[in-house]
Amino acid sequence: MSSSSNPQNAAEETEKRPAGTSPHATLRRTTLIVVPICVVLALFGWLQMRDLDNGIIETYARQQDSYVGIVLNEIGLDTDRSTDEVISDILGTLHNSSGSYWAFSRGQTMLYVKDVVETNRYKDVSADTYFDSADAEDFLKSLEEGQIVHQRILLGNEDYLASGTLFDYDGSEYRLCLLTNVSVLLGNNDYQGAHARMGTLWACGIVLFCTGMMVTADSVDRRRRECDSEHAKVALLSEKLALQAERDRRMDLYSAREGAWDTRLVVRFAKKLRARGVEGGAVLRIGCTTLEEALELLEHCNQFFGNDVLRFHDAGDCEVTLLCAHETPDGAADAVKPLLQGNAQIVAAESLDGYLANADESGRDSNDGE
């Protein structure tokens, strides 16, 4: 049955698909790829925003260094005044706020912090005590005369941008620092608004990218499932068509309108008709003088009789046997006589029961037609 093996192979191909082709295989693989990419993009965005903040702070730090230089030059012009209070008075006239203020010390002693009230709190405190964090101490140690440096430091758990320098006045060594709170520096409404918009756009871009990839992957999975379903339907339809073709082939093999069987099979067909409860029935043996007459008779039987008349003929023989269901011997003979031509004639007409009773089963019955 080679015709029925093709749909079976098609069905096996449907079942034996490559590993990883589950209903949501593409979506799973895409998720494993997209999620790390989104994490990397988010990290990259955060680094970019941090670099932007650092760029703003660095730009402000340079301006702050210049401001410290201007104040230092103003202090240097007062060469005829020699007290610490003079320098503190100069600093007191400068702008101070909660986000930005000056710190002034001589040696290890604080002389000025923010304003007069704040200064009185630290007058007896050393500079190292006020600049209590490690990075603040490093900043103080890095101050050099003639150079203005800046650095981010922590004071009281607050992040400050510090610009400072070391200078000599009236034989004493002083340190002048300008401190700006970074949170206040970056808290400008316009900048914060732009910062938030950029972050929002970047986040939306990542979400849209992730969503788009997921939707595309799900669409691919859905299309593959539809193709698999169609493939299974085609395989099933092919199998049904193959089975139908096999049935047709079998029907054609035993169709009385398409062919004739060996005469030795007459007894077997007669027994099957009787076993199926067919009433009546007749067997006619028709003798022809030539093979051409026999073939012509078979052709006429093909045209005028249906599936209830079975034909039997041995190759090269001039005799034709007809097995007629539901007919009497006389009725079958009367139906066949108009088809006889030349010297063809009915040799014998027997009932189905009579034929079975008189048949030589050892010579006629055979299993070759199974």
**What's residue 154's pLDDT?**
87
Residue 176 has pLDDT above 80, yes or no: yes
Cβ density class 38-64: b for 16+ within 10 Å, e for less: eeebeeebeeeeeeeeeebbeebbeeb
Q: What percentage of the chain carries pLDDT values higher than 70?
A: 77
Q: Which of 302, 268, 303 is nearest to 283 (CA)?
A: 268
pLDDT in tens, 273-330: 888 888 888 999 999 988 888 888 888 888 888 778 888 888 778 899 999 888 888 9
Residue 83 has pLDDT above 60, yes or no: no
Pick the more confident residue, 14 or 347. 347
Amino acid letter, residue 150: H
Residue 10 has pLDDT above 60, yes or no: no
C-alpha 110/C-alpha 299 separation (Å) is 131
Residue 331 has pLDDT above 80, yes or no: yes
Q: What percentage of the chain carries pLDDT values higher than 90?
A: 6
Residue 16 has pLDDT above 70, yes or no: no
Residue 53 has pLDDT above 80, yes or no: yes
Q: How confident is the model at residue 120 (pLDDT cuts 50, 70, 90)?
A: low
**What's residue 121's pLDDT?**
64
Angle subtended at Cα 365 by Cα 270 and Cα 343, rounded to the nearest 5 degrees: 70
**What's residue 287's pLDDT?**
92
pLDDT in tens, 222-275: 888 888 888 899 999 999 988 888 776 665 544 444 468 788 888 888 888 888
Average pLDDT, the chain: 78
pLDDT, mean of residues 156-165 = 87
Residue 125 has pLDDT above 70, yes or no: no
**What's residue 257's pLDDT?**
47
Query: In whole angstroms, how far apart are CA 209 and each of 25, 34, 39, 203, 205?
Result: 19, 9, 12, 10, 6
**What's residue 96's pLDDT?**
61
Whole-model pTM above 0.75?
Answer: no
Q: How many CB atoms lie within 10 A of CB 254?
A: 13
Residue carrying structure tokens 């691919």: 220
Give the chain's domains with CATH numbers: 78-186 (3.30.450.20), 263-364 (3.30.70.1150)
